[in-house]
Each structure stands twice: as C-alpha cells, then as structure tokens.
Amino acid sequence: MRRRLGTVAWTVVIAGLAILTLPGGWLTDFSTALRPRQESRPSTVAGALPWLHVEHPAREPAFIADAMSRRVILRGVASGGLMDYWSGSDPATLRPAPFFPIDPTAYDNRCPPNAEAVWQPPLCRNDLSEMRALGFDVVRLALSWSLLEPQPGKYDRRYLDRIAQVVGWAGQEGIYVILDMHENAYSRYLARPSPPPLPGGAPTSLNQLSGAPPWAVITDFWPSEVFFGQRELNPAVFAAFNSFWLNRQVAGPTGEAPGSGLQDHYIGALAALVRRFKDSSTVAGYGIFNEPWPGFVPPPLFEDLFLFPFYRRVLDALTGAGDGIPCPSSAPAVPACGFRDLGIGDRAQLFFVEPDHLREQTDFPTSLPLPFSSAGNLVYAIHSYTHVFTLDALAGQDPRGASYPPGGFELSYDSGQLEARALRAALFVDELGNQPADDAILLANQLQAQERHRVGAILWVWKQNCAVVPTWGVYDGLYDGQRDQRCAYDRPLVARDPSVKPQNGCLRLDRERLLARVWPRAMAGTSSNVTYSYEPGTGLFNLVASAPAGAPETLLFVPRQVRGTVAVTGAAIMSGTDRRPDGSRLVHLQPQGGLYQVVVLPAALNLTSCAAT
C-alpha cells in the first residue's frame, strides 16, 4: 500500500510551491490593486429587517450600514445551543449525533429537556424573547460542520430546517443572526489516548471541542494529548489543521461537494448554508471560520500562505468575486488559487473573516494585513480578550496591575481598526468574554472601548448549564446556571435530567446592569464626528454628533431597564419615539444641519427581580 505523505512534508511542499508561484513568497502582493465591489441590495419585504452592507466612504474607514447608509452598531450575544458538543456518550462509530434534537418539531411550543451532560442548553423560543428584553439586536449562532455535513457531500436538511427555525424566531423579535461556522480545537472527534505517550502531556478532554466531522479529521501519526492545559496545544490538533489548510483529500465519493479536498467540502457546506438563507435579511451574514489555528505553520507565513488564500477561495465560490487564478477542483491549496463561482447569485449579506487565533494573545496583528478579495461586504471580526487570553494572563498577572498589553484595552481596538482599514473591511468584535466575577474590570472596560471606537460586539456566551468548571475559554453566561451542581462533562450519560431548567437559573443583575444599555443603533455622519458613552450605574447617556440637514434619522435605543428622560439640544429634533410593550424605547432624532447633543438623564434602573430556585 502506498504510504501517505506526512503533514509536515506537505507543509514544506506547498510552501515551496507558494514561493515559486508568488514573487517574494507573499500571497497578497498581487491583490493590492483590489477595490471592494458594491454588492447588490435586494429590496426589503414589509416587516422584514433592513438589509445590511459594508459602506466604503471616501477617506474614511468602512463600516456596517443599512440601506440609508447609516452606521449600524450591532450588539448581542453568542449561543452554542445548536452545536455538536461532546457529552461522554458518543457511539462507537463516532457518527455525528447531536445531544439535543435538530428536528424543529421538537421545539414547537416547548423546549426539549435540558441536561447537565453538555455545558450549553438547547436554544428555544424563549431565549430570543429574553435577548430582545435585554436590548440585543444580533445573535451569533454557532453552528457545527459535523452536523451540517455529517457524511461527505451530504448536507443535513433537518439541521438547515432547525437553523431556519431559529432565524424565524429572531426575525419575529427584530434580531439579526450571524450564522457562524464554529470550531474549537478543530473537532470533538479526536482520539483520546490513555495514558499519554509523550512526557508532559495530559489526556484530551473533548467537552469543549467542536467543528469537523470524523471523516474530516486527518491527524496522521500525531498523538492527541494536551499540554499546559490548552486545548489547542495538542499535536493532533496541529496536524488536523495542517491537513485542512493543505486541502488534503477525502476518500470516497464527493456527493454534492464541489471537490474532494477538505476545503472543497467545507466550501460546499458553506454554500449549502448560503443557498438556504441568501434571501433572508434577518441573516446579517456568515462567520466563515471561528478562531483559525495555524497548525505547524507559524505566522506570518500562515496568514499569507494559507488563511487569507482560503478566505479568498470561499469568497470566490460564494460571491463570484473571481480574485484568485483558476485552479482545478480538489487541487492542493496553492496560495494564488481561487475557486470557481458556485452560482449562488446576488446577495447583500456580510462575510465575517477572523485573523489568526494567536491574535488573541497579542491584541495586535500577527501578519501584515493586505487585501485578498474584492468582495465588498467584508467584515474583519476580531476576538477581544484583553487580560483574559493576552500574554499577561498567560503569565498569571492580575489584570489590575498587568504589564501587558501597552495601552490596555485600547491596543486591540486601535490595531483592529488599522487592520480592517488595510483589508478594506468593516471592524466588528464577534467575540469577547470573561467570568462574571471579573466584569467590573474586564467587561466594563471592553464596553467602554467599544463606545469610544463606535464598534459593535458579541458576548460569549448567552447561557450555560450547571456551575462551570473554570478552564480557558469556558465562561458563565448571563444566567447563573444550576447552583451547587457541577457539569457532568466527563461522566458517561445515563439519562437526561428533566429537572435542569432551560432558563438556567436567574439573570445575573450585574451583567444586566452592564449590558442593557443605551446606544445609537443607526446614525448618520462619519466616524470622526460622533462620540457617545453610557454610565451603567446611573443610566446616564451622552451623545454628541453632527450631520447635515436632511440626513437620515439617528435611532437611539433605550432599554426598559433605563427610565431616564431623553433630552436633545443643538441642531436636531426628536421626531418621534416608538414605545414597545416590553418598556423599551426607540427614539428618532432628525438632524437639522450641525452639531447636536442627546442626553438620557440619570434615573433609578429597573433591573430584573428573580428569586433563585
């Protein structure tokens, strides 16, 4: 039998091809002349959410905008309720089998029984209503490749129906959805050797791993074990990612996939997702790949030779951008290669692209960002984990006196804006998080930085089960879970526990105080003439902006928790207020040409009262 070429050898071969293919060995040199294309914008059906796009003003950074070209600030949470989490009960065949049902009828007017075997509960109809009550207008819906394409080239229509069910709920609540192809340490279908064969290693715990189906996990001879308690510091994870970036071939029929390589299959799964939701304005866009890990290729070679070319291939396939050179299907992942247009058609949705996962440790770029696609609706989505994953946290420093990063919370946002502008993309924070005990120093400062930089963000995570055992990347959500109960991650599942409530205890009042805040959802004008801030202790909000006469209205959201009176001075008038049944307000502000100020006066906050049971 012919022996397969090892992962490291493939890396050397493809890197050599890249250096021969592109002058100087840098993938993106050819793309400096790319200019973002204007994507088509379908008309909005009455009652539907407005379509979003990326606006590219002259001499100004790009931003997410609505059909009136107003800057849109999206704020929300991420949910893992549709993910393929490990529960300790995998069948011997290792076929993808979701713990919670993916049949939409299981959620009709009810919520399936929750259980402590997985750390996030099922996502049910009440969750969207609760998000709306906190003022959120976007949910990042984490999805699993293993459930979307459980067998090569075969896309699970029930899973797509289940996603559509959640998108429908969100639309009813006026909440946008980001459909996020999520992974953590590549896949939960890695092996679990015991005892570890290498010194210093520990057995792999699969409870937080997710992503690829078992047939897409190619690790060659590398053992699966964890070092320094970090799930990504696993030789098998490195090897699996390398196989993906090299587009290693999958044996057997390709089915509906556009090729036989791992990336071909992944692009086919994304295409199935986009085809299903391309006509829905509720779907703001698609997260192409969560937290890409470089495998054995260090930055900046990883980004230039593998990551950005992969994103370009995805965008070529899904938008018809055609920026890469023609290469045959299933070809090795040579950096200059593009991908054929899969004929999905026009769309006006956003595509969220993330940098190397290592950026979370540095808070600044690990490569020189250069344009890689002419697709006009690109969003550069960073994960901002200052003092959580940054070098000071890895060294065990207290965030109150940390020596890194320089500039504190500003570095991540300042550098992110520079990176986004270089990529001709809008900036967005599609993930941040920390344990609730650290909210006063971590979450509060992140929210203030977002206001200073006029950028939207997603909090990880919405809800969790039981009392989370603290590990890297595992955080309590907005609800306090089942007190005095530990998650049964590593115990074999015996039976589901119907006593564990889908609501997961009480809403954390400190988090409600921080997150249910006043902010401008949509506003006219450039980034240089708007400042705003919110004081969560008193409900005081202050906005100063200027816009020409006749500019579209600014929409100011005031959640039900904030009771203060809205006052407007200067060159704007309050043209109306939409009062909603939950007590929230959407204030319409019409610019009159010039500088104006909006203040929400301090008042006692109306926080949720919840008796723990």
Collapsed DSSP state (helix, strand, coil) of residue 198: coil
Alpha helices in 454-567 (DSSP H): 509-515
Fold classification of 521-600 is Maltose phosphorylase, domain 3 (2.60.420)
pLDDT at 368: 86
Give 596's strand partners: 545, 570
pLDDT at 524: 87
- In order along the chain (613 residues), what is the average pLDDT of each group of 10 residues? 39 41 36 58 68 94 95 97 80 66 94 81 94 97 97 97 98 98 94 79 84 96 90 95 98 96 98 97 98 95 96 97 93 95 88 96 92 96 96 93 95 97 97 94 98 97 69 73 48 42 73 97 82 97 95 97 98 96 96 96 90 41
CA distance 139 to 49: 14
Give 351's strand partners: 286, 378
Q: Is the dihedral of CA 389, 395, 398, 404 positive or negative?
A: negative
Residues of the chain with CATH 2.60.420: 521-600
CA distance 599 to 612: 36
Residues of the chain with CATH 3.20.20.80: 7-515
CA distance 258 to 276: 17
CA distance 549 to 564: 28
Structure tokens at 175: 């909440």
Phi and psi (nearest 5°) for 587? -95, 130
Fold classification of 7-515 is TIM Barrel (3.20.20)
pLDDT at 89: 60
Contact between residue 37 and residue 378 where contact means Cβ atoms under 8 Å apart = no
CA distance 470 to 483: 15
The pTM for the full model equals 0.92
Phi and psi (nearest 5°) for 259? 180, 180
pLDDT at 389: 93
**Closest C-alpha among 122, 76, 64 to residue 433:** 76
Collapsed DSSP state (helix, strand, coil) of residue 59: coil
